[in-house]
Amino acid sequence: MAALTAFVLNGPNLNLLGTREPDIYGNDTLGDIEAATLKKAEALGITVDFRQTNGEGALVDWVQEAGAKADGLILNPGAYTHTSIALLDALSAIAIPKIELHLSNIHGREEFRRDSVTARAATGVIMGLGGAGYPLAIEALHALMTRGTGA
């Protein structure tokens, strides 16, 4: 069987992690999170393409690319979580397991963050665990991909 592949996509301002707001988002940089994610993925035999962009259109393009090339997707849409019907449509159009991930617990924050437009198309959601959520999402995605469920 060919090696499993997953895209891990990160949206706007997540490149700033580790520089400000550590009380909300922790002290890890996105590079630290990428290293922990790749380590867990390697242990499970998953090849990961880890990316960040500030652009909504780029995220839509990458979600479509994941649907064409990858076996699973982990997505932290950043603030587009709360607004982007374009991302919801892109997620709805791809037939692979999709995990939405948030560093913070969006339900415990400002009112405008409590709804996730994009999670309507997610197989599952992990939130509130800081950077530790990424390796956990890899484990969950591995289970979904190997069982062939969650698409």
Residues 6+ apart with CB under 8 A from 43: none
Work out the burial of residue 68: count CB atoms within 10 Å of its CB; fewer than 13 is exposed, 13-18 middle, 19 or more buried: exposed
Minimum gap (Å) between residue 73 Cβ and ligand CA2: 15
Using CB under 6 A, which of 14, 48, 90, 119 touches ligand CA2?
Answer: 14
Cβ atoms of 8 and 39 closer than 8 Å:
no
Pick the closer one to ligand CA2 by CB: 112 or 149.
112
Q: Which is nearer to ligand CA2, 71 or 98 (CB)?
A: 98
| 102 belongs to the catalytic site | yes
Is residue 61 within the footprint of ligand CA2 (CB under 6 A)?
no
Select from 40-48, 65-73, 99-107, 141-149 the region that touches ligand CA2 (CB under 6 A): 99-107
137 binds ligand CA2, rule: CB under 6 A: no
Separation in Å, CA 59 to CA 9, 49, 66, 74, 78: 7, 13, 10, 12, 11
- Rounded-to-integer distance, Cα 103 and Cα 127, Å: 6
Work out which of 37, 52, 84, 104 binds ligand CA2, going by CB under 6 A. 104
* Residues annotated catalytic, as ranges: 25, 102
